[in-house]
Amino acid sequence: MTISSLDFGAAPHARLNDRADLRRHVEEVVKRTPVIDLHTHLYAPEFGALSLSGIDELLTYHYLVAETFRSARISYESFWRMSRAEQADLVWRTLFVENTPVSEAARGVVTVLDAFGLDTAAEDLHEAREFFRGQNAAEHLGRVLGLAGVSDVVMTNDPFDAQEARVWEGDGGIDRRFRAALRMDRLINGWESAAAELAGRGFGVDAGFGGATAAEVRRFLDVWIERMRPLYMAVSLPDDFNYPGGDARDRVIREVVLPTAREHSLPFALMVGVRRGVNPALRMAGDGVGRADVSAVERLCAENADVRFLATFLSRENQHELCVSARKFPNLLPFGCWWFLNNPSIVSEITAERIELLGTSFIPQHSDARILEQLVYKWKHSRRSIANALADSYERLLESGRAVTRAEVERDVTRMFSGNFRAWVGMGAEAGEARAVEVLAAE
């Protein structure tokens, strides 16, 4: 179903004066409106083994691995020695059988199993494994996107990754529902080794930024932009990120990324506040959070008024400041409730705060899904919190003397779920809207 064909069987311009009608309509529109998922770690089917799906992958998601170590008596070494299926069995037994799966990540698996009609309280993974093994991949992908109400999935694409490169360099196309985002972490956060890698590939790059280094790195990026046609460039940044920083990161941003953003008219997404490897023994599950300095992003926005920035902060403490910064800089678009913030209590709080300070000029959520079926739970859970926050704000407006119409609710949700992103990245309506998206989320 496309958004333009949403039909609620009632006059679109009738004012919703009744609170119960109002809430019901908001919930319905939020459930049914297709969303562009602007940041995921999913891959199009053409990427083969990089594209993760199924119960063993769902259960060994790094969020659940971290939680398992809190309840299971097992050493890191023993856990990492296990096969993926053995790890999944342990996670299931620990978090779903011996404990009640009330954490957000654990409940997410329950939501997924339930969506596919599977036993959510099974003693083992037999039934779930059979189910996922029996799915036709293409049909299953369509079903998941439909259940989640996702029209377009934006991937995270690393130009230094050899596995990805093989696909990008091949001559087959990529599923049109998947779009690229050019991830800059290796260049921006690991400059020394990125410089060595580029030099090894024949680019005239040296770690001291001598000669034509900046021009050569830009030449490397130009090639990848041509290949991937990304919607934006992105980087994750630590809690102590500063700008100006007087370091290699500063030079890469200033001399490579910002000129590339201008030349290709590509927005630059900043994901700030991650403390990588707080507990390395947990491997991918070992990253933490720290409060960052939002004024660094303000300075980037002020100095580069002609560049469009997307920004998300990992610390709850930074959320209000980010809203205030966005009020000051029209070239700054806050997005998502990232990672440790993607819990109903915090999504509700952040969404309410953003509506109060920014109206509908922000992007409420992205999924960060790594495993295909996570789209189902992440969007179902987020939609519920977003609907509540939005309904509360319309109710307050009603108290002040202004009832909204059905059409206004649809306009607002469409703006937040796809319109703001489309406008920011210059993405035409042809992608998500013209293609029929069967939104099953409402059922």
Applying CB under 6 A, the residues found at the interface with ligand FIX are 41, 156, 236, 271, 339, 368, 370
CA–CA distance, 2 with 10 (Å, rounded to integer): 18
Nearest distance, CB of residue 236 and ligand FIX, angstroms: 4
Smallest gap from residue 234 Cβ to Zn ion (A): 9
Stretch that binds Zn ion, among 189-197, 305-313, 365-373, 429-437 (CB under 5 A): 365-373
Given CA atoms 125, 127, 133, 136 in this order, what sign does their dihedral have?
Answer: negative
Closer CB to Zn ion, 92 or 338, in the complex: 338
Given Zn ion, ligand FIX, none, residue 236, with its beta carbon under 5 to 8 Å by kind, binds: ligand FIX
List beta partners, residue 422: none
DSSP code at position 304: T
Q: Which residues of 118-156 are buried (b: 16+ CB within 10 A; e: fewer)?
A: beeeeeebeebeebbeeeeeeebbebbbbbbbbbbbbbb
Stretch that binds Zn ion, among 211-219, 276-284, 363-371, 386-394 (CB under 5 A): 363-371
Q: Which position's Cβ is nearest Zn ion?
A: 368
Cβ 56 to ligand FIX, closest distance in Å? 17
Min separation Cβ 336 and ligand FIX, Å: 9
Distance CA 226, CA 423 (A): 21
- The option from Zn ion, ligand FIX, none interacting with 125 (CB < 5 to 8 A, set by class) reads none
Distance in Å, CB of 167 to ligand FIX, minimum: 20
Q: Quick one: which segment of 60-68, 246-254, 360-368, 375-383 binds Zn ion (CB under 5 A)?
A: 360-368
Nearest to ligand FIX of 156, 414 (CB atom): 156
Q: Which residues, other chains included, contact 42 with Cβ-Cβ below 8 Å and sequence gap of 6+? A: 51, 52, 153, 155, 178, 369, 370, 371, 372, 375
Stretch that binds Zn ion, among 68-76, 128-136, 316-324, 368-376 (CB under 5 A): 368-376
Which residue do the tokens 């609907």 mark?
387
Is residue 321 within the footprint of Zn ion (CB under 5 A)? no
The correct pick among 368, 373, 410, 433 for binding Zn ion (CB under 5 A) is: 368
Give the Å distances, CA to CA, from 219 to 158, 243, 282, 284.
16, 24, 37, 31
CB of 411 to ligand FIX, least distance (A): 30
Please state the closest distance from residue 204 (CB atom) to Zn ion, in A. Answer: 32
Q: Which among 160-168, 284-292, 366-374, 408-416 is the span making contact with Zn ion, rule CB under 5 A?
A: 366-374
Quick one: residue 375, left, alpha or beta (phi over 0 = left, psi -120 to 50 = alpha)?
Answer: alpha
What residue 258 binds from Zn ion, ligand FIX, none (CB within 5 to 8 A, per partner kind)?
A: none
342 vs 82: CA distance, rounded Å: 29
**Which residues lie closer than 8 Å to 48 by C-beta, 6 or more apart?**
167
Structure tokens at 158: 């690393």
Which residue bears the tokens 């990427």? 47
Residue 380 interface partner, choices Zn ion, ligand FIX, none, CB cut-off 5-8 Å depending on type = none
Least Å distance, CB 53 to ligand FIX, is: 16
Judged by the rule CB under 5 A, the positions of this chain that interact with Zn ion are: 368
